[in-house]
Structure 1
């Protein structure tokens, strides 16, 4: 937990960018039970799964995941309560409210349409709800936002391909180069989805299962990221980069490959590290084992993120605090982390300059107080 100190105040108000948070992972037990009642969704029977006896028992179970797959079983059950655009908006808004309280100024958030569509929810309901939540956050708190649509590795490539085509047909994918439809610059900037990613079970599915989709998206100038190097070894990171990923989600196994780590540092590839998530899913035994210091020393860019905060019990500020407790970073090291988060964000140069100026002002205010 964050200590009640000047360091806590510094970390609270340090302007943050969050790049790795799944909106479906922000479904708190309270919100799950609320939406289940609202939408007449039957949650698992407590006789078969005691965790669902109450909000309290479900909250308690979330603190004892044994693996990524154990977590995912609860994660996909939680999603079933989302049915209408208003549900997706309410979920997104709840995350952004907490992010604002934690000092987030820019957030790039994942969402998983395939699971919802498989149970009959229309694509437009999902996207319009999340877009509405993003716009409310931007209007009320000045948070800039980006939506990243994820393909799920435990589902088929064909399912991902259908989703990709639907998003293209809807004109939702923001592109940075002229695409096959010869859209104008004005038309391209209307895209409400600013990137594509892939997540879910890492070890098992082919490392390059979305190669063709990523090639098509890359040719259109669509931003690409990929979950890699969480449970899987560093070769998963290498493959993700090889098929076109411009940044890596998790990536904690990068330190196993010195040559690859030098390449990532040299090319300024951002890792979206999730230290508390790594502990909760048994990838490491403590935050101190996450290679924060190694990445800093090697010049690897990374941001610190919450991943699925409703399930792991730590939103982004708590993640920052736990990193500080484990590593005792200096003010200047936090400046580097914060600035690299801005530079690795999928936003325009004007917004980047604005955020970098906010970071600089904040660091100057607290540097003397914290370090003399």
Structure 2
């Protein structure tokens, strides 16, 4: 099944570009930018990648972003991920970035977006994957701060596909950002939000009703509310689930306890993603392999997860059909080969 996963065309819809910052790159960028790190070596930093919960992870995550200073840094970061994505047969990626994490360090919005968008353009020109940029607001900061970031984004609006909501979920309900999302949607930006990771199922419903999001990032605690699960299935609202992340951050004790299979069986459009793979030890194919092993998924079930990923993407309808047709052709070829 490893070979099947490796060759399966797929999209990644839940990927924080700052979360692809491998320890080796942290040190290389820190040296280039003369940034002092609180770790003596790459190995010492990697040993710190043991997290008690989401906040424990976020503390280290934001600390490492200090190495990102110049446009070239963001370009190199995105190009490294996109090269790896191409190797994993990720045909399309919708990439989150956190402008507030950089702006509060004095890095201008334009520096971040120019570097990232140049990398996306160059990768597409060089054979893929195609990609989109999603600007996320940090939910543990104020709605006013988020609105100011939306203001700052205006000169680069044509580089952005949508807005999201991430960072510490506990105690930060999505409704806090209702007006920010309303304005973002009025500007033509698509909407999604992290909800139901460490927060309750009610946060998922609140994000749907107040923020009017089109898909839910994580969303695993929706399983605690059968009526909400039925709604997600009926309305074909996709969940961008990150299995290895959920285990590493102790949302669930192990994958056998994870609700991914139950959500699939309930008819929810589940997708598999890697979240912050440099920190959690698993890029996209590793997540597919993990759920295949945990739930004994058949090839067709893995293919359906990949179909869901394209169907839930912000590609055009024609592009979605073409990508899904590639999956169908691949499955037929693999079936004949066996």
TM-score by length of 1: 0.89
Cα distance in 2 for residues equivalent to 1:155 and 1:220: 22
1:368 Cα deviation from its structure 2 partner = 4.2
1:31 Cα deviation from its structure 2 partner = 0.3
2:228 aligns with 260
Of the candidates 57, 62, 65, which is equivalent to residue 44 of structure 2? 57
Question: Does structure 2 retain, via aligned residues, the 8 Å contact 1:18–1:104?
Answer: yes
Cα distance in 2 for residues equivalent to 1:155 and 1:337: 34
2:29 aligns with 35
The number of aligned residues is 337
Cα distance in 2 for residues equivalent to 1:211 and 1:152: 14
Q: Which secondary structure state, in structure 2, belongs to the residue aligned with residue 119 of structure 1?
A: coil
1:159 Cα deviation from its structure 2 partner = 1.3
Of the candidates 312, 318, 326, which is equivalent to residue 358 of structure 1? 326
Which ranges in structure 2 are unaligned for 5 or more consecutive residues?
A: none
1:369 Cα deviation from its structure 2 partner = 4.5
Q: How does 1:150-229 map to 2 (within 5 A)?
A: 150-168=136-154, 170=155, 172-173=156-157, 191-229=158-196
Residues 80-105 of structure 1 deviation map (CA, whole Å, 9 limit, x = unaligned): 01111000000001111111111100
Of the candidates 349, 356, 359, which is equivalent to residue 317 of structure 2? 349
1:66 aligns with 52
Q: Which secondary structure state, in structure 2, belongs to the residue aligned with residue 224 of structure 1?
A: strand
Task: Say if 2:202 is the partner of 1:235.
Answer: yes
1:330 aligns with 298
Cα distance in 1 for residues equivalent to 2:317 and 2:130: 13
Task: Say if 2:239 is the partner of 1:271.
Answer: yes
Cα distance in 1 for residues equivalent to 2:330 and 2:173: 44
CA RMSD across the alignment:
1.1
Q: Which secondary structure state, in structure 1, belongs to the residue aligned with residue 165 of structure 2?
A: strand
Q: Which secondary structure state, in structure 1, belongs to the residue aligned with residue 137 of structure 2?
A: strand
Cα distance in 2 for residues equivalent to 1:85 and 1:218: 28
> Which structure's CA Rg is the greater one?
1
Question: Does structure 1 retain, via aligned residues, the 8 Å contact 2:98–2:136?
Answer: yes
1:245 aligns with 213
Cα distance in 2 for residues equivalent to 1:111 and 1:21: 9
Cα distance in 2 for residues equivalent to 1:40 and 1:328: 48
Cα distance in 2 for residues equivalent to 1:255 and 1:118: 36
Residues 305-343 of structure 1 deviation map (CA, whole Å, 9 limit, x = unaligned): 000000011100101110111011112212221111111
1:177 aligns with none
1:135 aligns with 121
2:84 aligns with 98
TM-score by length of 2: 0.97
Which ranges in structure 1 are unaligned for 5 or more consecutive residues?
A: 1-6, 45-51, 174-190
Q: Which secondary structure state, in structure 2, belongs to the residue aligned with residue 142 of structure 1?
A: coil
